[in-house]
């Protein structure tokens, strides 16, 4: 009987450890909904990241162009540049309003992280006369080019109907403003 007792104790220890391991494994599998919700709530897919980048970048570019145009309306001595800046500001405000509305519907918060934009504004504020006009036209031309490139790239990367409609509505206007800015730049040279 003495030899049976250590065998029983060892058997119960192994059985007890096996029961704990199985119970632990089973408990992890029992709640797959909770486990999947934990991973899904913080996981973003590539499409969502692309859309967040698009809305943030497009809004920042629009804000930059609007700020430059507001300064140009006040500082430029050329009536043609004042009128151009007024048209650009109007169109960019429309675009910014539409982008902000769409971002809000998608629960995207647009943050402004744009140090280049601030530096461009300081350079623009410090310029005078014809130098101001040249700096404004060059900066606006570059910003419009960046905006057009952004629109074209997102149109290739997304299949979101609303974003594509936005691009179809505003991309031709951006090209028109870019051509007009280039034309005014050539006239001022």
For the segment 107-131, the average pLDDT, to the nearest whole number, is 74
The CA–CA distances, whole Å, from 11 to 6, 7, 20, 40, 64 equal 8, 6, 14, 43, 75
Mean pLDDT of the chain: 82
pLDDT at 124: 78
For the segment 98-124, the average pLDDT, to the nearest whole number, is 78
Nearest CA to 87 out of 182, 149, 180 is that of 180
pLDDT at 42: 47
The third-level CATH classification (topology) of the domain covering 44-188 is Ferritin (1.20.1260)
pLDDT at 77: 86
Confidence label for 121 from pLDDT (cuts 50, 70 and 90): confident
Count of C-beta atoms within a 10 Å radius of residue 183: 12
CB-based contact 163:150 (threshold 8 Å): no
CB-based contact 147:65 (threshold 8 Å): yes
**Per-residue pLDDT tens digits for 7-66:** 666 766 766 666 676 666 666 555 555 555 555 544 457 878 888 889 999 999 999 999
Dihedrals phi, psi of 106, to nearest 5 degrees: -90, 5
Confidence label for 94 from pLDDT (cuts 50, 70 and 90): very high
CB-based contact 53:153 (threshold 8 Å): no
Q: DSSP characters for 67-107?
A: HHHHHHHHH---HHHHHHHHHHHHHHHHHHHHHHHHHHHTT
């Amino acid at each position: 009987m003495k030899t049976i007792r250590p065998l029983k104790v060892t058997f119960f220890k192994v059985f007890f450890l096996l029961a704990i391991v199985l119970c632990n494994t089973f408990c992890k599998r029992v709640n797959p909904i909770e486990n999947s919700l934990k991973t899904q709530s913080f996981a973003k897919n590539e499409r969502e990241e692309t859309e967040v980048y698009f809305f943030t970048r497009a809004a920042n570019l629009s804000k930059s162009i609007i700020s430059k145009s507001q300064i140009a309306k006040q500082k430029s001595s050329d009536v043609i540049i004042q009128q151009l800046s007024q048209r650009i500001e109007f169109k960019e405000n429309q675009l910014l309003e539409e982008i902000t509305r769409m971002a809000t519907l998608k629960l995207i918060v647009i943050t402004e992280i744009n140090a280049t934009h601030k530096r461009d504004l300081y350079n623009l504020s410090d310029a005078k006369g014809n130098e101001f006009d040249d700096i404004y036209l060059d900066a606006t031309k570059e910003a419009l080019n960046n905006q057009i490139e952004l629109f074209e790239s997102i149109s290739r990367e997304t299949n979101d109907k609303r974003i594509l409609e936005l691009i179809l509505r505003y991309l031709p206007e951006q090209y028109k403003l870019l051509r007009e800015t280039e034309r005014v730049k050539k006239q001022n040279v």
